[in-house]
Structure 1
Amino acid sequence: MHALFHLLPTLGLRFKPSSSRFLSHPISFSYSLSTMSSSVALPSVSLKKVSFGGPEFLKSSNSLGFKHGIRGFGPRNLDKSRVFMSVSVGSQTAVDDALFLDYKPTCAFLFPGQGAQAVGMGKEAQKVPAAEDLYKKANDILGFDLLDVCINGPKEKLDSTVLSQPAIYVTSLAAVEVLRARDGGQQIIDSVDVTCGLSLGEYTALAFAGAFSFEDGLKLVKLRGEAMQGAADAAKSAMVSVIGLDSEKVQLLCDAANEDVDESDKVQIANFLCPGNYAVSGGVKGVEAVEAKAKSFKARMTVRLAVAGAFHTSFMEPAVSRLEAALAATEIRTPRIPVISNVDAQPHADPDTIKKILARQVTSPVQWETTVKTLLNKELKKSYELGPGKVIAGIVKRINKGAAIENIDV
């Protein structure tokens, strides 16, 4: 390690640790100098900062806002620690986005998205102080008693986009604390080496992975819900699940529906969930055309979704600029473990790339089927669904009946 520090000046690089406490622990230095030298002109490059992506950083910075940090990622896991080097060219700082490209998953945490909410969720959190504390932190940010709405409703209020998204985010992270309090729970949390979430759940996964603090994540989710509601209010749109068809047939169904409606009512597949279950988004007339034609395409049924509008399509474009501004003002770090994106079913390490991906996510189809299939093809051993409902577990089982997944509900 020290030999590399002495080598850096000869390469035109400067090393500046962001905190001296990082150097008090054994760390591994795995940056490829050969790769760096082939991609940038060394004399004009300086090593601007070190972003610590390992467990001790999470514990010391209390990045999720938990009372005692995320204890599962404490000193006992320093063998998993990494130092991520960011190379600065001029005023731009970037992290190698391919850092997690060859990830090999063994244990995954999967987080649900909007639609998983149900009145009564959060009851178990009251029994675990660390979980209940998250709701108290949320109250200060949201300005109302979130746990009361989760437990007592009313349903119409909980189902609203502006409230359901923060409620699911907080409840899912509370589920992590409920699991931690169980016998063997800490060992499970320690073993997680990949995470992802369905739509909104991607924010929960990023918070769990330490990409941003619990509080910052909640602020983003709150704004996301408000921005998506605003975009939905701007145009008449809807979503419908098509049950019993493969993705090719659903696409043909969309094409047929689009022949009967104006451009402003066009539809597309918005959520690639699992074989036999794909969500279609678009203008109300386009969605009605899908419903009318579904039987002729041999669909088993269609189910209109109780959401504000056509999520994950261009109908959400008005929300993008608000998200971009909020993300630009938020500190995002390289996740300590891979977080699989909904947009391209790939993990990303560069904070700037993560920000761009999250802004694009609301207008891009959710590639959940590809995500789950990729994890299973990479021989994922076990996964856990953390949060309200059992939607994720059902999807995983639909893709592979033999997949091992456990639900941690609260």
Structure 2
Amino acid sequence: MTLTFQTKAQGPKVAYLFPGQGAQAVGMGKELYDNSAAAREVFDKVDESLGRSLTKVLFEGPEDDLRQTINAQPGIMAVSLACVKAMEENLDLDEMPQPIVMAGHSLGEYTALAVSGVLDVADTTKLVQMRGQLMQDACDQNPGTMAAILGLDQMALEEVARETGVWVSNINTAEQIVISGDRMGIAQAMDLAAARGAKKVIALRVGGAFHSGLMEPARAGLVEAIESMDFHNPTVPIVANCTGDPLNTADSIKEELVAQVSGCVQWKRSVDYMMGTGV
């Protein structure tokens, strides 16, 4: 049976936002699984689509296994979808929030595909696992890392990136920006950013230089995977990570997903757009 999501509710108008990699924790989703039949159906569909028990890793760990990209990405997606289905199960149509836009941070953009009907849950799960594997392969080919820079504006940080050979990879707020690159370049960029007035520089515990040119080896395989699937126009606009603009067609979403794997996540621009819609 195909799982579908209710996007024509009659409750308050909202934006649905979905988290990215790094939000995982052992045990996440277990309470939903135990207490919501609708949520349990999501987890079972994800396990069936993967041909393995992802829920066992989610609920029992160990943490090192859950942190692996191939588990963390579909796991976070599964819990996000289960939350939406549990909400639908417990709220009447006139109480259910009505999403007028959706967005997801990196991986979260894929969760939005399922909720907005671009792909079904099974295909979204398969695509997320493929993306995770392609990104892991790119990390193995081009090792790297990431760092968060606080208190330095985008223009100044872009200059630091040019001088050290790294990439600006996530613009989360005006003064919370993430950079990606090889380990030596990131170390140099952190020192240079601190010298130029950054309030704080934080090395991130990640498996690679995500959303940077070092992820380019993942692009061809991702294009192939996307083209093998039947994409539909979204029932609700998805705000693109790379541009902060709303996407309303299957083709524009395909282009965004390919660009996003090695492109900068313009999260501030996305949030600014959503706030402008009145949510």
| Residue aligning to 1:282 | 181
Q: Once the 2 structures are TM-superposed, how far is the Cα of residue 183 of structure 1 from its aligned partner?
A: 4.2
2:75 is aligned, of 153, 167, 170, to: 167
In the alignment, the residues of structure 1 paired with residue 7 and residue 239 of structure 2 have an alpha-carbon distance, to the nearest angstrom, of 19
Q: Do the aligned residues in 1 keep the contact of 2:245 with 2:273 (CA within 8 Å)?
A: no
In the alignment, the residues of structure 1 paired with residue 157 and residue 206 of structure 2 have an alpha-carbon distance, to the nearest angstrom, of 20
Q: Do the aligned residues in 1 keep the contact of 2:7 with 2:116 (CA within 8 Å)?
A: no
1:253 is aligned, of 160, 169, 178, to: 160
In the alignment, the residues of structure 2 paired with residue 291 and residue 152 of structure 1 have an alpha-carbon distance, to the nearest angstrom, of 36
User: What RMSD in Å do the two structures reach over aligned CA positions?
Assistant: 1.9
- 2:62 is equivalent to residue 154 of structure 1: yes
Q: TM-score, normalised by structure 1?
A: 0.64
| Residue aligning to 2:99 | 192
In the alignment, the residues of structure 2 paired with residue 110 and residue 188 of structure 1 have an alpha-carbon distance, to the nearest angstrom, of 18
| Residue aligning to 1:369 | 268
In the alignment, the residues of structure 1 paired with residue 73 and residue 94 of structure 2 have an alpha-carbon distance, to the nearest angstrom, of 29
Q: Once the 2 structures are TM-superposed, how far is the Cα of residue 108 of structure 1 from its aligned partner?
A: 0.7
In the alignment, the residues of structure 2 paired with residue 357 and residue 173 of structure 1 have an alpha-carbon distance, to the nearest angstrom, of 21
SS in 2 for 1:195: strand
SS in 1 for 2:188: helix
Q: Do the aligned residues in 2 keep the contact of 1:124 with 1:178 (CA within 8 Å)?
A: no
Task: For 1:312, give the aligned amino acid.
Answer: H
How do 1:174-185 residues align onto structure 2 when only pairs under 5 Å count? 174-183=82-91
Identity %: 34
Q: Once the 2 structures are TM-superposed, how far is the Cα of residue 249 of structure 1 from its aligned partner?
A: 2.6
1:134 is aligned, of 42, 48, 59, to: 42
Q: Once the 2 structures are TM-superposed, how far is the Cα of residue 190 of structure 1 from its aligned partner?
A: 5.3
In the alignment, the residues of structure 1 paired with residue 94 and residue 203 of structure 2 have an alpha-carbon distance, to the nearest angstrom, of 41
Aligned length: 277
Cα 1:188/1:150, change in 2 over 3 Å: farther
Cα 1:73/1:376, change in 2 over 3 Å: closer
- 2:239 is equivalent to residue 340 of structure 1: yes
In the alignment, the residues of structure 2 paired with residue 330 and residue 322 of structure 1 have an alpha-carbon distance, to the nearest angstrom, of 13
In the alignment, the residues of structure 1 paired with residue 209 and residue 155 of structure 2 have an alpha-carbon distance, to the nearest angstrom, of 20
2:30 is aligned, of 123, 138, 144, to: 123
| Residue aligning to 1:100 | none
1:215 is aligned, of 122, 131, 135, to: 122
SS in 2 for 1:181: helix
1:300 is aligned, of 196, 199, 220, to: 199
Task: For 1:338, give the aligned amino acid.
Answer: P
Q: Once the 2 structures are TM-superposed, how far is the Cα of residue 111 of structure 1 from its aligned partner?
A: 0.3
Structure 1 residue runs without a partner (length 5+): 1-61, 78-104, 259-265, 381-410
In the alignment, the residues of structure 1 paired with residue 126 and residue 26 of structure 2 have an alpha-carbon distance, to the nearest angstrom, of 22
Q: Do the aligned residues in 2 keep the contact of 1:161 with 1:307 (CA within 8 Å)?
A: no
In the alignment, the residues of structure 1 paired with residue 103 and residue 120 of structure 2 have an alpha-carbon distance, to the nearest angstrom, of 17
In the alignment, the residues of structure 2 paired with residue 160 and residue 359 of structure 1 have an alpha-carbon distance, to the nearest angstrom, of 22
Q: Do the aligned residues in 2 keep the contact of 1:253 with 1:297 (CA within 8 Å)?
A: no
How do 1:353-368 residues align onto structure 2 when only pairs under 5 Å count? 353-368=252-267
Task: For 1:343, give the aligned amino acid.
Answer: C
Cα 1:305/1:188, change in 2 over 3 Å: farther
Q: Once the 2 structures are TM-superposed, how far is the Cα of residue 307 of structure 1 from its aligned partner?
A: 2.0
Task: For 2:185, give the aligned amino acid.
Answer: G
| Residue aligning to 1:378 | 277
Q: TM-score, normalised by structure 2?
A: 0.93
| Residue aligning to 2:19 | 112
Cα 1:334/1:247, change in 2 over 3 Å: same
